[in-house]
Amino acid sequence: MRRPRPGTSRTSPPRPSPGPRPRSGHPGRAALGPGARAGFLVERQWAIDPSLFVDTLADRLCRGGVELVEGARVTSVREGGGRTEVRTTAGTYTADTTVIAAGVWSRELCRGLGVDIDLMPGKGYSFSVPVDPLPSRLIHLGAAKAVLTPLGKRLRIAGTMEFDHDPDRFRQGRVDAIIAATRPCLRGADWERREQEWMGPRPMTPDGLPLIGRVPGTSGVLLATGHNMLGLMLGPATGRLVTGLLTGGADPGLAARFDPARTARRRRGGVRVGVSG
């Protein structure tokens, strides 16, 4: 409630301020349709192209001497004799320590080590369409529960949180629902020319915190997953924590908050039993 200014009569309250006037120069305004009736501008918001980021990171690692094995599926992780073994469709690799960072598919690899971890796929869907005019910045459509991100000459539209035990199942109906919710808010989109229809299963945890630390019952296998919807954002901090766990320099209090043992269960004869570390 707005208080009267000093000297204002109680019987003649000041006129309420009309508030900030809309500015026609707001980035993305011209691309919005009649369904977008109101909004506000949030400064210091950024978006990146995930594919370009990963490709650039991989190139930098290769130039630094890292060997990347692409197109291979990891079938199991084993530990024994003070060493770890990673079996893949491209061969078997051994190392002192292995880090499992396979998103929601980390569940299956941990089960091979006799441990169940609480991860649930929270599936999000996206696609890209040509739009004229193309927004110049990220737009979050709250009512439609969708995010519009300009990537190159197209607009990436993403949304949905679908909980499904099958992380690989794609439901076309989810894409259709995003289109139906977004269409009134976006003018100039050629919906028939959409491309890159895609689904990604986010690794969701019961408490919203990632699982970072040693897999219970192992000494040389670490887990780094369960970042929910913030994987790209939390990647650098996760890398620093994993490095600290490997070198002994991690903050014990910080590491304890993300210890996988808090939700993990040992598997014995197909039965889950609790673990304490």
pLDDT bin (cut points 50, 70, 90) of residue 25 is low
Residue predicted with more confidence, 23 or 127: 127
Using the Cα atoms of residue 180, residue 167, residue 84 and residue 215 in order, give the sign of their dihedral: positive
Instruction: Find out whether the peptide bond into 133 is cis, omega within 30 degrees of 0.
Output: yes
Check whether 4 has a pLDDT greater than 90. no
- Mean pLDDT throughout 163-187? 94
Taking 80 as the threshold, does the pLDDT of residue 8 lie above it? no
The per-residue DSSP string of 229-277 comes to T-HHHHHHHHHHHHHHHHHT-S-HHHHHHT-GGGT-EEEETTEEEE---
Structure tokens at 154: 């197209």
24 Cβ contact list (under 8 Å, min separation 6): none
The answer to whether 79 touches 228, Cβ cutoff 8 Å, is: no
Mean pLDDT of 202-219: 96
154 neighbors 190 (Cβ within 8 angstroms): no
pTM of the model: 0.82
How confident is the prediction for the chain on average, in pLDDT?
87
C-alpha separations of 265 from 22, 109, 110, 260 in Å: 55, 14, 10, 10
* pLDDT score for 268: 62
